[in-house]
Chains A and B, each alone.
Chain A
């Protein structure tokens, strides 16, 4: 009896150390890169890091809780515009704390507004996916026509870099290179927070919900509220990504809400490894650097290569690149005990509603 607990306890600690080691390696790699790379390289990797927060939000929802949100970019755009508008209209020239706080708050609020009625009404997952897609498209459209507030289809430009100054302490960023350590720190911190969350009892509850919501409900758990919490955390992450992306790019434009950013996040999650957290971050960096190399040659060529990589990974590496380093995933791959390569099936299944027995 005790042996079982002790062994489980050690396995858990071991797993945590192993994964935290991933975070440490990531941080060291980023620090070295920060020393060696040229400003443009730093900009590319910083934007990959910032956008990888959006991928983390997708992985948390899709990879861990089985929630299919097809419009994660809604939060990217919301965070970007909240940061930009706050910094232009409310706290111009002042530290950017309020802009970040509002972005995260609005991210959570939007997630709750979208998810609450759907989860409480036990909306079919496929409809929820369509609702989230529609929300992103509506926001994109609305942003493009609201000239007074959002600058319409031209977007907003001249968005200032973050400023974390405190009384008597000047922490205002002046160059884009200074952004790189900020992005690195935020992503590593977000990764560790997600890791802690998914390894906790709450994380196990999420995994159970992903596999079989109905069964979890019969165990007395409030599935809707649990999923709502995940959606809210993901909303906060996505909005944070936007609030960091706007100052890095210097602009906010309606395409931030667009399908391209949403799809990109999903590709990173699938290629990096669904349900691995570290995988999507590594995929974001690798694919962004690859994109940058190939853009010079041919923009279309990159997209085709990306599509090819996506298909190959989905077919041959169901758990993504990160799955290569996961003994369990390798075992699963050879055993092929569960359905298709990417676990869409449990997401799309209908709830039980037919006569039998």
Chain B
């Protein structure tokens, strides 16, 4: 029976690359309004999971249900239009395009009435950079620009792939604030390695290991778990 509080569900979702089971029969339930963090060691299949959910690579088996609709096999643009948007681990920006033009592209607004775009830029603190070429931004700013593009699309669900990768503690704290604010209008799924960051934002945590769900729970439960400590948290102290 479908739970109305669940906005995204995967059932037996798998993606194999030859003999490698990058994602192996993952059952995931993301509740509306939550900030749901996905953690796990390198190679656990976190980014592949995002790639399959967002339609960028096909699933080998299983299905993805977003807002009661099966989206497995749909194209990335169709999934995006349903309100499921994503960011990338390495920020993907168009080097020769201005910051504002990026957000206008995402919001589909005309330059003369780009209220939503400017609001999105303001939310991530990049409004003053609107005229700059995205290629000239610092790494952290590019990641924030990706976040602004996602916000400008007014999504129902945002998948963020390591939003704080390569950032210092101060910048991470700012991102946490942005993510918390984003969660007031959308559900957010975050892949993250920075456990302090996860502790500050997560309503629910899923631990992936070798492509499979190892544990699920609140961050307190996860941090207490011996098995999680052994395979993951122990590693990063």
Binding site for B on A (CB under 8 A): 1, 4-5, 7-9, 12, 201, 204-205, 207-208, 211-212, 214-223, 328, 337-338, 352-357
Contacts of B149 in A (CB 8 A): 219
22 A-B Cβ contacts within 8 A?
A: A4-B127, A5-B111, A5-B112, A8-B98, A8-B130, A204-B105, A208-B105, A211-B97, A218-B56, A218-B77, A218-B86, A219-B106, A219-B153, A220-B80, A222-B77, A328-B96, A337-B95, A337-B135, A353-B57, A355-B17, A357-B47, A357-B89
Decide: B80 and A217 in contact? CB cutoff 8 A.
yes
Q: Which of A12, A215, A219 has the most chain B CB within a 10 Å cutoff?
A: A219
A4-B130 Cα distance, complex, nearest whole Å: 7
B197 in contact (CB, < 8 A): no
Question: Chain A residue with minimal CB distance to B92?
Answer: A215
Q: In this assembly, does B46 line the interface, its C-beta being within 8 Å of a C-beta of chain A?
A: yes
Residue ID in chain A nearest B119 by CB atoms? A1
B112 contacts across to A, CB distance below 8 A: 5, 9
Given known pairs A218-B80, A220-B81, the reply for A207 and B56 (CB within 8 Å) is: no
A204 touches B80 (CB 8 A): no
Cβ–Cβ < 8 Å partners of A8 in chain B: 98, 100, 111, 130-131
Of A207, A218, A337, the residue contacting B54 (CB under 8 A) is: A218
- Interface bits B101-121 vs A (CB < 8 Å: 1, else 0): 100111000111010001000
Q: Taking beta carbons and an 8 Å cutoff, which residues of B are in contact with A?
A: 15, 17, 20, 22, 42-48, 50-51, 54, 56-57, 75-77, 80-81, 85-86, 88-89, 92, 94-98, 100-101, 104-106, 110-112, 114, 118, 127, 130-131, 135, 149, 153, 161, 191
Pairwise interchain contact A4-B100, C-beta atoms closer than 8 A = yes
Report which residue of B75, B97, B105 has the largest number of chain A beta carbons within 10 angstroms of its beta carbon.
B105
Question: Which residues on the A side are within 8 Å of B110 (C-beta)?
Answer: 201
Chain A residue at minimal CB-CB distance from B149: A219
Q: Are A219 and B80 in contact (CB under 8 A)?
A: yes
Question: Is the Cβ of B95 less than 8 Å from the Cβ of A217?
Answer: no
Give bound CA distance, A8 to B102, whole Å: 13
Shortest 6 CB-CB contacts between residues of A and residues of B: A357-B47, A220-B80, A217-B76, A355-B22, A211-B94, A4-B130
Q: In the assembly, what is the distance between CA of A205 and CA of B47, in Å?
A: 26
- Identify the closest chain A residue to B15 (Cβ): A355
Complex CA distance for A12 and B110, rounded to whole angstroms = 13
Indicate if the CB atoms of A357 and B46 lie closer than 8 Å: yes
Asked whether, in the complex, the Cβ of B75 is within 8 Å of the Cβ of A217, the reply is yes
Q: A219-B85, A337-B95 are in contact. List 9 more A-B contacts (CB 8 A).
A: A208-B105, A211-B94, A220-B80, A222-B77, A328-B96, A337-B135, A355-B17, A355-B45, A356-B43
Specify the main secondary structure of chain B where it touches its partner: mixed
A contact residues around B42 at 8 Å (CB)? 357
Q: Nearest Cβ in chain A — how far from B232, in angstroms? A: 14
A216-B105 Cα distance, complex, nearest whole Å: 9
B130 partner residues in chain A, CB cutoff 8 A: 4, 8
Q: How far is the CB of A185 from chain B (nearest CB, A)?
A: 32
Closest chain A CB from B220 CB (angstroms): 25
User: Which residues of chain A are near B106, meaning CB under 8 Å?
Assistant: 219
B127's contact among A1, A208, A222, by CB below 8 Å, is which?
A1
**A212 close to B94 (CB less than 8 A):** yes
* Cβ contact of B44, chosen from A207, A219, A357, cutoff 8 A: A357
Given contacts A5-B112, A354-B17, A357-B46, contact A338 B95 (CB under 8 A): yes
Q: A355 to B20, Cβ gap below 8 A?
A: yes
The smallest C-beta distance from B149 to any residue of chain A, in angstroms, reads 7
A223: B residues at CB distance < 8 A: 77
Q: How distant is the Cα of A217 from the Cα of B44 in the complex, in angstroms? A: 26
Q: Specify which of B89, B101, B110, B191 lies most central, judged by the most chain A CB atoms within 10 Å of its CB.
A: B101
Q: Within the assembled complex, what's the spacing in Å between the Cα atoms of A251 and B28?
A: 67
Inter-subunit contact A352/B94 (CB<8 Å): no
